[in-house]
Amino acid sequence: MDTLPPLATGETAAPSPGQLRELYSLMVAVRHLDSSAVAWQRQGIIPGYAPELGQEAAQVGSGYAVDLTRDFVFPTYREMGVARAMGVDMVAYMATHKATWHGGLYDPMESRLAPIQAVVAGSVLHAVGWAHGQTLTGTADGKLGVALSYFGDGASSQGDVHEAMNFAALMKAPVVFFVQNNGWAISVPTERQVAGGSVAARAQGYGIPAIQVDGNDVVAVLEATRHALAHCRSGNGPALVEAMTYRRGPHSTSDDPGRYRSLAEERDGGGEDPLERFRQRLLADGIADEAFFAAALAAAKAEEEQIRAGIQALGPRPGNEMFDLVFQETTPALQAQGASWREESEHV
């Protein structure tokens, strides 16, 4: 499925060898941090985590396409790879999984990443509103900031996704709906979740051009996302990218996939490992060698250790923040509750 009009020649360039190596390094960093985060949960370092094993290509490829000077990304809760590709402070990102602060500790305005949140279709409408704001202030000369809205096959069942697509199409809002179709909404497979064949097919009903892409091919994802971004930047309205991938692990560290799928199904559904596949391709094309891969893994390990140390060093937030950050202008009732907490708390 590809209903996105082709780009003018030269509008997006193929990734350079340097960029391909950078993509690989990012994927290794994400893979290593992801599997480590699951281990941290088992070790009691963090209370919970939503793994993304197998989705590294979909996340790194799309996150790498973001222009940090003008775009804005709206995640849900399984976008660690996107955040890493965007250069978000990963200790601050992981703070949400450490239960330090809902939404994470990173600065959304600086990092161009909205806070993590768990109502999976909730942020899709935010992306449309933000994108409409770009239309109101910017000019459609190929320079519009674009909102990237991440959601999954499960979220696509929620009404907000449909309201968002309808609004975006009517308002010609520069928003890329980036769907990671990972085959599973916790225990429910896509075929019992998505009517109409695919999310991309639904987009057509709203007149939104869509691309369905092999979500396990990082270069294909990068190029599809760049294509969609370029389409939106020029004032053509929204686009949708549906990256077909597979959630190889559990939904979260509390989930037991053995209750709803067999190991054989998991193996078949996952297909070839996107990381290994990219490695083979880089080797075959002579873009990287074993020494590079070894160095990339070593860097990923060093980075993970730093992040672990960082989140282990995170203490609980000072309790007064609970009261101080509700409003821009606090209320007498909140002030009184804060004062009462300070008097009664042992943590002051």
Partner 1 sequence: MSSAILESGAAVAHGVERHRLEGHGVEELSMQQALNRALDEVLATQPKALIFGEDCGRLGGVFRITDGLQLKYGEARVFDTPLAESGILGMSVGLAMAGFHPIPEVQFDGFAYPAINQIVCQIGRMNYRSRGTLPMPITLRVPSFGGIRAPEHHGESLEALFAHVPGLKVVSPSTPHEAYHLLTYAASLPDPVIFMEPKSRYWQKGPVDFARGPETIGSPTGAKVMRQGRHLTVVAWGAMVARCLQVADLAAEDGVDIEVLDLRWLKPIDAQALATSVQKTRRAVVVHEAPLTSGLGAEVAQLITHGCFDTLKAPVERVTGFDVPYPSGDLEDEYIPNIDRILNGIKRVLEYRRG
Residue 311, interface with partner 1 (CB under 8 A)?
no
For residue 316, the minimal CB distance to partner 1 (Å) is 15
328 binds partner 1 (CB under 8 A): yes
Site membership for partner 1, residue 340 (CB under 8 A): no
Q: Helix axis angle, 56-63 relative to 274-284, nearest 10°?
A: 70
Q: How far is the CB of 194 from partner 1 (least distance, A)?
A: 20
Query: Catalytic annotation on 93?
Result: no
> What is the spatial distance between Cα 237 and Cα 131, in angstroms, rounded to a whole number?
9
d(CA 13, CA 7): 11
∠ CA 87-92-96 to the nearest 5 degrees?
Answer: 120
Q: Does the active-site annotation cover 251?
A: yes
Nearest to 225 by CA among 108, 147, 166: 147
* Alpha-carbon span 3 to 77, nearest angstrom: 29
Establish if 339 lies at the interface with partner 1 (CB under 8 A): no
Site for partner 1 in 100-159 (CB under 8 A): 101-103, 105, 107-109, 114-115, 117, 119, 122-139, 147, 159
Q: Is 50 in the site for partner 1 (CB under 8 A)?
A: no
| Shortest Cβ 232–partner 1 spacing (Å) | 15
Q: State the catalytic residue, choosing from 97, 233, 247, 248.
A: 247
Among candidate residues 260, 261, 277, 281, the one labeled active-site is 260
Q: Which residue lies nearer to partner 1 by CB, 140 or 283?
A: 140
Site for partner 1 in 164-193 (CB under 8 A): 164, 166-167, 170
Residue 19 touching partner 1 (CB under 8 A):
no
| Adjacency order of strands within the sheet including 175-181 | 72-74, 147-152, 175-181, 239-244, 210-214
CB atoms within 10 A of CB 2: 13
10 is a contact residue toward partner 1 (CB under 8 A):
no
Exposed, middle or buried by CB within 10 Å (0-12, 13-18, 19+), for 295?
A: middle
Query: In this structure, what token pair is assigned to residue 241?
Result: 């990218």
325 binds partner 1, rule: CB under 8 A: yes
Closest to partner 1 by CB, 325 vs 339, is 325
**Residue 315 lies near partner 1 (rule: CB under 8 A):** no
106 catalytic, yes or no?
no
Residues between 224 and 283 with contacts to partner 1, criterion CB under 8 A: none
Q: Which of 89, 163, 255, 273 binds partner 1 (CB under 8 A)?
A: 163
Does 66 help bind partner 1 (rule: CB under 8 A)?
no
Query: Pick from 331, 339, 345, 348: which binds partner 1 (CB under 8 A)?
Result: 331
Residues catalogued as catalytic: 247, 251, 260
Q: Which residues bind partner 1 (CB under 8 A)?
A: 72, 74, 101-103, 105, 107-109, 114-115, 117, 119, 122-139, 147, 159-160, 163-164, 166-167, 170, 321, 325-329, 331-334
